[in-house]
């Protein structure tokens, strides 16, 4: 988007609609009040980067001669209706339920004064839940907007108010970003898949809520400030990461940059492998692996692979070299004839190892999902991934009728709900009896769902051509979204567009020791600042600095290396200091 030169066609259309509505309501759209516009819209107050003279800066708004106070403009948004023409996808319009001025002195508010909007987007069918959204409009606007993604099966409104993993030092709202998010069109926590019985709700969850919320928010932004954002970003992780890729694939004209962490790109694939894991644990005698044995697996991988990167720091960084030691690790874990089960903390029988092999090997399907996808890449089970937590394989040796994260593990619980409600559309369906490889009459539904919800389409040419930028970060020890699936998608992009073109728009950072939000190393890194510098100044990110926020090792640092590189210890100096590591090729 070359702001100040030409607005995107969609932005112009929404701006015209919004401004016509403003006139009809005798509400004058205005830019920020001069007394409060202390942050120049062309600057990122948290950036030390030198401006690129060839990049297009965000233009300062031209304030009208008379403008209502910010508080008045905020409260005037209360009760506003946006008709269906405001939103490019089919809806019955949008309604602002509340518009509240949040003062800078409000207890717990570190974002300065802002206008908090809550609203809903009306579904087409009366039996379909509406999409509920929040929108935050800062008094000191930096000219940018950030749409924030959800997690799991969504179901709760993403407020966009707090600190984000990709902007850890200050919340985006506190930096002057307009922020907004939604519940994707249903109510419930992230483990409930019941809405899969409602077709329109499935489409909303898959992709439509992104566009509908974007368009409604854009119209309200124009009402408040008198112009659209100079830059529109999207950021999210897991399901939110999938949403980020979906935004690029389906709505490339709407976004200038995306942060998509640990993205659930192959949504059907990760649900299907979850079912296979549950079947290995509960439909196979002796297949359940208790937490104590999963810890044994993890500790053995550390024992063999931790020092391969030159540092004994509790992190397996050299995944490629570690994989060469996998036979040795498995042999040490296996129960051999005459071996005591309690020997050195326990051993794994063949059925238990087979359960882990399901995760390691991934899925190879004899049929194709959307976008020529025929499986799901496996996990780094024997390369430092810990599987004994709530997000791992669960703690209950007995299959529960209604699985839970803690009891039966995240992968199986989510996969079970997917098969019941999305695929079979039968709440009583037994997913342990579902044939993943030969789904029979359910195959057509599986393929259709992978088109609606998945984000495996490699066609990003339009996003690339407009100058869009993408940053993806994921843990190499992720136990929910396979890091190898994310790498496979990246490699597919390279095959399609070539190294040079992919390098021009994408950065992939794979983090050793990082799991799905936890792990031996939990990185805190300003990805939003890196993305904004790239988009607005042309400063492409390379090696970044990541600070560990894991409780036992809080404060240590490592270089965040571009894939396929990893941080390798230089052989001397403090192990907790990133300056003593270098990014190395495997």
Q: What percent of the chain has pLDDT over 70?
A: 87
Consecutive H or E run containing 363: strand 363-369
CA distances to 276, 377, 386 from 363, rounded to whole Å, are 9, 7, 20
Give the whole-angstrom CA distance, residue 178 versus residue 138. 6
Maximum distance among all alpha carbons in the chain?
89
Tell me, yes or no, if the pTM score tops 0.85.
yes
Taking residues 525-554, report their average pLDDT: 96
Contact criterion met (CB below 8 Å) for 300 and 319: no
Give the whole-angstrom CA distance, residue 79 versus residue 86. 16
Taking residues 293-314, report their average pLDDT: 97
* Chain segment 201-223, per-residue pLDDT in tens: 999 999 999 999 999 999 999 99
Q: What percent of the chain has pLDDT over 90?
A: 81
- Report domain extents, the chain: 1-37+63-229, 269-452
pLDDT of residue 527: 96
Residue 579 has pLDDT above 90, yes or no: yes
Q: Which residues of 68-82 are buried (b: 16+ CB within 10 A; e: fewer)?
A: eebeebbbbbeebeb
Taking residues 80-86, report their average pLDDT: 96
Residue 17 has pLDDT above 60, yes or no: no
Taking residues 285-306, report their average pLDDT: 97
Give the whole-angstrom CA distance, residue 75 versus residue 116. 10
Other CB atoms within 10 A of residue 500 CB? 8
pLDDT of residue 260: 97
With 0-12 / 13-18 / 19 or more C-beta atoms within 10 angstroms meaning exposed / middle / buried, residue 139 is buried
Consecutive H or E run containing 9: helix 9-24
Bridge partners for 181 per DSSP: 134
pLDDT of residue 389: 83
Looking at per-residue pLDDT, the higher value among 290 and 7 belongs to: 290
Residue 33 has pLDDT above 90, yes or no: no
Taking residues 254-266, report their average pLDDT: 98
The residues that are catalytic are 238, 478, 516
* Chain segment 64-79, per-residue pLDDT in tens: 446 789 999 999 999 9
pLDDT of residue 401: 86
Residue 85 has pLDDT above 70, yes or no: yes
Residue 30 has pLDDT above 70, yes or no: no
């Amino acid at each position: 988007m070359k702001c100040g030169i030409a607005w995107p066609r969609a932005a112009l259309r929404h701006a015209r609609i919004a401004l016509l509505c403003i006139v009809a309501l005798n509400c004058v759209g205005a830019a920020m009040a001069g007394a409060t516009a202390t942050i120049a819209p062309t600057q990122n107050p948290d950036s030390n980067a030198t401006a690129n003279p060839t990049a297009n800066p965000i233009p300062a708004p031209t304030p009208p001669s008379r403008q209502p106070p910010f508080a008045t403009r905020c409260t005037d948004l209360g009760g506003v209706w946006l008709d269906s023409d405001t939103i490019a996808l089919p809806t019955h319009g949008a309604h602002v339920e509340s518009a509240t001025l949040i003062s800078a002195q409000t207890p717990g508010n570190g974002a300065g004064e802002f206008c908090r909007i809550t609203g809903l987007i009306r579904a087409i069918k009366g039996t379909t839940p509406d999409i509920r959204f929040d929108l935050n409009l800062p008094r000191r606007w930096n000219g940018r907007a950030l749409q924030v993604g959800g997690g799991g099966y969504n179901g709760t409104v993403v407020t966009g108010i707090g600190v984000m993993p990709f902007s850890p030092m200050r919340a985006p709202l506190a930096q002057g970003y307009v922020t907004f998010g939604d519940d994707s069109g249903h109510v419930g926590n992230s483990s409930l898949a019941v809405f899969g019985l409602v077709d329109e709700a499935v489409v909303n969850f898959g992709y439509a809520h992104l566009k509908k919320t974007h368009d409604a928010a854009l119209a309200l932004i124009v009402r408040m400030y008198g112009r659209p954002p100079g830059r529109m970003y999207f950021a999210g992780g897991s399901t939110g990461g999938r949403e980020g890729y979906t935004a690029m694939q389906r709505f490339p004209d709407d976004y200038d940059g995306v942060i998509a962490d640990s993205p659930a790109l192959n949504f059907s694939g990760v649900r299907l492998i979850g079912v296979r894991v549950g079947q290995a644990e509960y439909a196979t005698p002796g297949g359940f692996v208790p937490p104590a044995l999963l810890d044994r697996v993890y500790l053995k991988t550390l024992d063999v692979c931790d020092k391969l990167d030159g540092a004994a720091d509790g992190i397996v960084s050299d995944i490629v070299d570690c994989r060469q030691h996998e036979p040795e690790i498995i042999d040490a874990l296996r129960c051999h004839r005459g071996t005591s089960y309690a020997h050195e903390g326990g051993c794994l029988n063949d059925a238990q190892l087979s359960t882990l092999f399901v995760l390691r090997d991934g899925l190879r399907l004899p049929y194709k999902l959307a976008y020529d996808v025929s499986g799901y890449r496996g996990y780094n089970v024997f390369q430092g991934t810990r599987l004994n937590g709530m997000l791992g394989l669960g703690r209950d040796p007995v299959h529960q009728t209604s699985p839970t994260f803690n009891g039966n593990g995240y992968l199986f619980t989510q996969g079970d709900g997917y098969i019941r409600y999305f695929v079979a559309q039968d709440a009583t369906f037994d997913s342990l009896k579902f044939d993943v490889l030969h789904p029979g009459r359910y195959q057509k539904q599986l393929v259709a769902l992978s088109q609606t919800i998945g984000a495996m389409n490699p066609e990003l040419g339009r996003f690339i051509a407009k100058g869009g930028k993408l940053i993806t970060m994921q843990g190499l020890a992720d136990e929910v979204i396979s890091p190898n699936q994310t790498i496979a998608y990246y490699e597919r992009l390279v095959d399609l567009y070539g190294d040079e073109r992919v390098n021009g728009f994408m950065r992939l950072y794979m983090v050793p020791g990082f799991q799905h939000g936890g792990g031996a190393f939990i990185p805190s890194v300003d990805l939003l600042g890196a993305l904004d510098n790239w988009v607005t100044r042309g400063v492409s990110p390379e090696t970044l600095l990541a600070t560990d926020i894991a409780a036992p090792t809080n404060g240590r640092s490592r270089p965040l290396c571009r894939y396929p590189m990893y941080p390798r210890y230089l052989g001397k100096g403090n192990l907790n200091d990133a300056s003593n590591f270098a990014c190395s090729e495997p």
